[in-house]
């Protein structure tokens, strides 16, 4: 018996799968038996334009390799688009087991120069609409199905630009860190329905990053991100609510930790100043997985 991780009969929706990372996730899971919805609007990196051919070409590629897939060219960026994407899966395959929120665009600008007022180029709303609200719009109709069937795997594509910070990406970084909060709450709400939600922060050479990778580019094959996505999409996925950094063959756990902290029942401004070293001392930090576990970190001080 082989211990290869298979996806026989699993229905997988991947948004933005007409190229880059999404295409690689699709090729990998289709090769292992998944029935894949290849969603892609087919626009430019900044989100302008559309090309129905992007999704169709990946479907053709999968079919030529003996796999099964269907194209969907709706935008993730509206509630109607999100519903239509999930409906494509239901019409073609009757259920949804896995959703990979991957569609994305960039409108980088330093915060000082970021425009979004009426009459100005909108560098904010389309970025939030595709990455953050788009995840709501596609995930909720999928969630209804997953909850009903008592099974689901959701992988959302975050970014180190938001988790750790990067110049010129307040819009994108906020949307991407928003997906971490989204993922952590979904993990809490999905636990009793066997719905697991996790997020990845990938690093890969794609059209989105080709101008910024420099010498690292040839180490960052986008196909090296997909094994983690497939593992998180699998029945055997051991975690929920977690974030992983992945690129070029490296996989690492990104976790949100909290120091033990300083406590004084009558806290003053000067006490904060004078005990700053204790506030920030990372010795014995905690890694709470939800709000309840975080609140529990206060309790030893109140005993």
Where along the sequence are the contacts to ligand NAI (CB under 6 A)? 15-16, 18-22, 39-43, 45, 47, 54, 75-77, 102-105, 130, 157, 159, 202-204, 206-209
Q: Which residues of 15-29 are buried (b: 16+ CB within 10 A; e: fewer)?
A: bbbbbbbbbbbbbbb
How far apart, in whole angstroms, are the C-alpha atoms of residue 226 and residue 115? 34
DSSP 171-213: HHHHHHHHHHHHHHHHHHHHGGGTEEEEEEEE---STTTTTT-
Please identify which of the residues 93, 137, 172, 193 carries the catalytic annotation.
Answer: 172
43: closest CA among 87, 107, 90? 107
Residue 151 annotated as catalytic: no
Burial class (CB in 10 A: 0-12, 13-18, 19+), 54: buried
The CB-of-153 to ligand NAI minimum distance in angstroms stands at 17
| CB closest to ligand NAI, residue no | 20
| Nearer of residues 139 and 151 to ligand NAI, judged by Cβ | 139
| Nearer of residues 101 and 151 to ligand NAI, judged by Cβ | 101
CA dihedral 66, 72, 75, 79 (to 10 degrees): -120
How far apart, in whole angstroms, are the C-alpha atoms of residue 20 and residue 221? 10
The CB-of-184 to ligand NAI minimum distance in angstroms stands at 18
Extract the tokens encoding 281.
């001392």
| Nearer of residues 15 and 170 to ligand NAI, judged by Cβ | 15
The CB-of-260 to ligand NAI minimum distance in angstroms stands at 32
The CB-of-147 to ligand NAI minimum distance in angstroms stands at 24
Catalytic residue positions, numbered:
172
């Amino acid at each position: 018996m082989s211990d290869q991780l298979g996806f026989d009969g699993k229905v997988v929706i991947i948004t933005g799968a007409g190229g880059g990372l999404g295409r690689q996730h699709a090729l990998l899971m289709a090769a292992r038996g998944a029935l894949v919805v290849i969603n892609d609007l087919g626009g430019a990196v900044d989100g302008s334009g559309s090309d129905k051919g992007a999704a169709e070409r990946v479907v053709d590629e999968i079919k030529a390799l003996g796999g099964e897939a269907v194209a969907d060219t709706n935008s993730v960026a509206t509630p109607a688009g999100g519903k239509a994407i999930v409906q494509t899966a239901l019409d073609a395959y009757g259920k949804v087991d896995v959703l990979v929120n991957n569609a994305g665009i960039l409108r980088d600008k330093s915060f000082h120069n970021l425009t979004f007022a009426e009459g100005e180029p909108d560098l904010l709303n389309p970025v939030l609409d595709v990455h953050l609200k788009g995840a709501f719009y596609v995930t909720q109709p999928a969630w209804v199905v997953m909850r009903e069937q008592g099974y689901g795997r959701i992988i959302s594509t975050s970014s180190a630009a938001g988790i750790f910070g990067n110049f010129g990406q307040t819009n994108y970084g906020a949307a991407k860190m928003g997906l971490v909060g989204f993922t952590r709450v979904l993990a809490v709400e999905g636990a009793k329905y066997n719905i697991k939600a996790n997020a990845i922060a990938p690093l890969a050479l794609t059209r989105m990053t080709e101008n910024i990778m420099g010498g690292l580019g040839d180490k960052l094959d986008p196909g090296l991100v997909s094994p983690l996505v497939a593992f998180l999409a699998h029945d055997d996925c051991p975690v929920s609510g977690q974030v992983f950094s992945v690129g070029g063959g490296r996989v690492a756990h990104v976790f949100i930790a909290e120091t033990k902290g300083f406590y004084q029942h009558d806290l003053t401004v000067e006490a904060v100043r004078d005990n700053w070293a204790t506030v920030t001392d990372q010795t014995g930090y905690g890694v709470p997985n939800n709000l309840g576990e975080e609140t529990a970190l206060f309790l030893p001080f109140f005993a």
